[in-house]
Chain A
Amino acid sequence: MDRSLLLRLLDHAGKALILLVFLFPFLWMISTSLQTFEETMSFPPVWVPSSLQWGNFAEAMTAGPFLTYARNSIVITTAILILQFAVMIPAAYAFAKYTFAGSGLMFGLVLLAFMIPSQITFIPVYMTMADWGWVDTLLPQIVPFMSNAFGIFLLRQYFRQIPQEIIESARLDNAGEFKIITRLMVPMSMPALATIALFSFVSHWNDYFWPLVMTDATHVRPLTLGIAKLRETEGISNWNIIMAGNVILVLPILIVYLFCSKQIVKAFVYSGIK
């Protein structure tokens, strides 16, 4: 009896330790972001700041065109979401509900696109963008993501599960295809749409590589690049300011995660299993 109690205690302690390993760096980031420069330089480290240095956040925000970075991040992620949905919904509907010559081949191309990483295509895409005169605008960070292959795939599966009878009866009531999509298919596939939206938001808000290779000018760059640059402008030692900027970058994602953790987990697991 005693032994099983001990085992259960060990089990809980071990899990608590795992949790600590994965969450502590975030707590440390927050603690550092509220410390004075002297506190960050002291060894042994200061665990809890003696007084909360909210000024670090102001300093991080004035170290670069922070509002511009934040605005760019918001504009880019929002525009990508809108564009992707406008492109994905009709395509997924056509793939799910129509039979047409070449549909298999076209869908194969969608899946192929899903597998080719952007780390391979970035040079030619950049050159196309340069040809179009799009370099140093927000467009090269938005338009190349118009076709969300994973989204088209997931939504097509979802649309296929919606019974044909529902669509046929809507057609008998003289509903056009546009109406069927907007009034029937979209409302009925909200869970799938939310999954795709969250997945897309998280990956584009966090993206570093694509904006880095597609832009040179500061005024079109997103928060990820702004925060990474903070390290260069702040030198290598102002860790409290760097961590303050970092908190600003992480916070929106963590808040979204706090409210939609179930959906986000589902979105990521879904993308991994199918």
Chain B
Amino acid sequence: MRSTELWMRIRPYVMIAPAMTGIVLFVLYPVAYLGYLSFHKYNLLNPSKSRFVGWENYIRIFTREDFYRSVLNTAVYTLGVVVLTLVLALLAALWLRGSSRWNAFVRAGIFTPHIVSIVSIALVWMWLMEPNLGLLNFMLKAVGLPPSPWLQSSATAMASVILVSVWHNVGYYTLIIFAALQSVPPSLYEAAALDQASRSRVFFRITLPMISPQLFFILIVMTIGSFKVFDTVQIMTGGGPNGATETLVYYIYSYRTTNIGFASATGVVLMAIIGGLTLLYFRFLSRKVHYQ
């Protein structure tokens, strides 16, 4: 009898043990280990030759010009992607909010790129953006516009990468905003119609406040997501031309084997940036968010 009682008490711990093991081993411990590595000059071939260097890696990061460039690139990318995606997704969700089959079909269509691997997306767009034979330049010429070098020039490469990212993700956020629009109580719109409120007034006084929790969520998720951008850049430009698209994760990636301590310290800085941005959002925007 006593042993079953004991079993009843430890049973929940046994059941969550595998999950917690995974989380500790592959998420929490690595974060701590990352911090540890960031204070070391790590020797990959002979770990016993690794030595503690204090803040040296961090000092190096903040005295390097290419670090600031990668932060700036990441910030430009994030700002571009977040603003464009949010505005376009909001417009698309409003336009496609009707429940007709045709609207549902268009919504499914713009969502399709989101479930396709970024490898495929990047390759298709590299082909479309090919400067001499690509379809985009053909279309530009056809309507009398000058062709663009797209990914080949440092002036246009970042804009091209942003364009592809927006195209890849806008359908997903359209769906989320669409779902949010569906959850606004119809009685509010009926009341507004009785009061003969104008469309813009209905939008700014009812629709926007009612979906603000989801918009707030999207803002956070997209900002964090954009700060981790790597795949698109790695495949489409390799960080170039001339570092014009080198982002923070790409920066970490390029030092991952040659200088682990330095790469780890950059990882810690990235984590601090992401954490700081999330805090800022919560501090300054959450008060503006209307919860039902």
Find the A residue at minimum CB distance from B88. A18
The distance in angstroms between the C-alpha atoms of A268 and B102, with both chains bound, is: 21
Q: Is the CB of A18 within 8 A of B106?
A: yes
Q: Which of B23, B128, B234 contacts A110 (CB 8 A)?
A: B23
The distance in angstroms between the C-alpha atoms of A184 and B131, with both chains bound, is: 59
Cβ contacts under 8 Å, A242 to chain B: 123, 127
Cβ contacts under 8 Å, B28 to chain A: 109, 112-113
A145 CB to closest chain B CB, in angstroms? 8
Asked whether A116 and B231 contact (CB < 8 A) given A22-B113, A25-B128, the answer is no
Q: What per-residue 1/0 map shows which CB atoms of B82-116 lie under 8 Å from chain A?
A: 00000000001001100000110110111111111
Q: What per-residue 1/0 map shows which CB atoms of A119-135 lie under 8 Å from chain B?
A: 11111111110000000
* Residue from B11, B27, B118, B252 with most neighbouring chain A CB atoms (10 Å): B27
* Residue from B127, B135, B217, B271 with most neighbouring chain A CB atoms (10 Å): B127
* Residue from A22, A28, A143, A207 with most neighbouring chain B CB atoms (10 Å): A22
The distance in angstroms between the C-alpha atoms of A256 and B263, with both chains bound, is: 38
Find the A residue at minimum CB distance from B225. A117
Cβ contacts under 8 Å, B118 to chain A: 206, 208
Q: Is the CB of B112 within 8 A of A257?
A: yes
Q: Which of B16, B31, B105, B133 contacts A91 (CB 8 A)?
A: B16
- Size category of the B interface is 35 or more
Interface window among B172-180, B196-204, B280-288 = B172-180
The distance in angstroms between the C-alpha atoms of A113 and B24, with both chains bound, is: 9
Cβ contacts under 8 Å, A205 to chain B: 117
Asked whether A206 and B167 contact (CB < 8 A) given A19-B110, A43-B138, A261-B108, the answer is no
Find the A residue at minimum CB distance from B36. A124
Find the A residue at minimum CB distance from B35. A124
Within 8 A of A (CB), among B170-189: 171-173, 175-176, 179-180
Q: Is the CB of B117 within 8 A of A110?
A: no
Q: Is the CB of A121 within 8 A of B231?
A: no
Cβ contacts under 8 Å, A261 to chain B: 108
> Which 6 pairs between the two chains have the least Cβ-Cβ distance?
A147-B22, A206-B117, A91-B19, A124-B33, A124-B30, A94-B15
Supplied contacts A19-B109, A269-B179, 8 more A-B pairs, CB within 8 Å: A42-B133, A125-B26, A144-B22, A147-B20, A228-B235, A231-B123, A273-B214, A273-B217
